[in-house]
Structure 1
Amino acid sequence: MTPRECCLLLVSVMTSIAGQFFLKTGANKLGKFITENDITHINRIITIPELIIGLLFYALGALAYILLLTRVNLSIAAPSASLVYVFSVLLGYFVFKEPIPITRIVGLSLIIGGVILVVWKK
């Protein structure tokens, strides 16, 4: 990938991560979903600013990904976008104090290794 393509990928991944951050923050405000409060939760989604901001960040990430797809093959872009998983786990750990079990670390290492192999050019 060229530097410009790497930047598009980075923008796509980082805006998706920002979207996840805001969606998680908004979901925490929303509270736990149960079948008895389904309509209430659906109605409250549009009133919680963090959820709207999260969706907007996801939209920006999708736009950057579409632009990336105009420049690189899907077989490179899609696996590269899986870096969102890696950063999501780090976000969960550092911001939301979620644990990272060793099996998840192994899985994330495999994702990173796979992305390196997919984008590697001889």
Structure 2
Amino acid sequence: MTLQEFCLLLMSVLTSVVGQFFLKAGATKLGKVSVENAVSHIIRIITVPELIGGLAFYALGALAYILLLTRVNLSIAGPSISLVYVFSVLLGYFLFKEPIPITRIIGLSLIISGVILVVWKK
């Protein structure tokens, strides 16, 4: 993976993680959805700025990923994008004070190891 390809991957991962942050912040503003309030929640989505921002960042992440796919095999790009999971857990821990149990740490370690093995060139 060249430096340009790595930068596209990093941009795709980071913009997706930022999108997740805004979606979580916006979802917190909406409150819990139930059968009774589902329709009003769906309508309110377009009025919550954090949700609009989250969707915009996801769109940027998708654009970066498409550009990455023009340069890298799907068998490398697909697994590499799973780094979003790692950063999402860290984001949840540091910004939303969500706990990280040991089983999740082991899972994240396996994801990181897997990505390294997938992109490793002999």
% identical equivalent positions: 80
Cα deviation for residue 92 of structure 1 reads 0.2
Tell me which amino acid in the other structure corresponds to 2:88: S
Gap runs ≥5 in structure 2: none
Q: Which runs of 4+ in 1 moved over 6 A?
A: none
- Once the two structures are TM-superposed, the CA of residue 4 in structure 1 deviates from its matched residue by 0.3
- Within 1, Cα distance between the matches of 2:116 and 2:26? 33
- Measure, in 1, the Cα distance between the counterparts of 2:79 and 2:66: 14
| TM-score normalized by the length of structure 2 | 0.99
Offset, 1:99: 0.3
Where in structure 2 are the equivalents of 1:1-122 lying within 5 Å? 1-122=1-122
How many residues are matched?
122
SS of 1:56 mapped into structure 2: helix
Residue type of the alignment partner of 2:110: L
CA–CA distance in 2 between the matches of 1:114 and 1:84? 13
Cα distance in 2 for residues equivalent to 1:39 and 1:61 = 28
Give the alignment's Cα RMSD to 1 decimal.
0.3
